[in-house]
Amino acid sequence: MPKQRKQKHPEGFRKNKAAFDSVMNQLRRMGRPTLGHVGAVNIQAQSGGKPAAKNPAKPSMVDFWADVFLAIKVAVPKDIDLVKFHIAYTLYSSDNPIDQELWAQKILHDRRHSVEQRLGAEFIRRGIHPVRKGYFYAPRRG
pLDDT in tens, 12-38: 889 999 999 999 988 888 877 666 555
Do 19 and 120 contact (CB within 8 A), yes or no? yes
Give the length of the chain.
142
The pLDDT assigned to 4 comes to 66
Among residues of the chain, what percentage have pLDDT more than 90? 40
CA distances in angstroms from 70 to 3, 67, 74, 76, listed in the order given: 44, 5, 6, 10
Give the pLDDT band of residue 8 (cuts 50, 70, 90).
low
Choice between 49 and 75, residue whose per-residue pLDDT is larger: 75
Do 15 and 120 contact (CB within 8 A), yes or no? yes
Nearest to 66 by CA among 101, 113, 108, 32: 32
Q: Is the pLDDT of residue 1 over 60?
A: no
* Residue ranges covered by each domain of the chain: 13-31+54-135
The pLDDT assigned to 38 comes to 52
pTM for the predicted model, two decimal places: 0.75
Q: Is the pLDDT of residue 40 over 80?
A: no
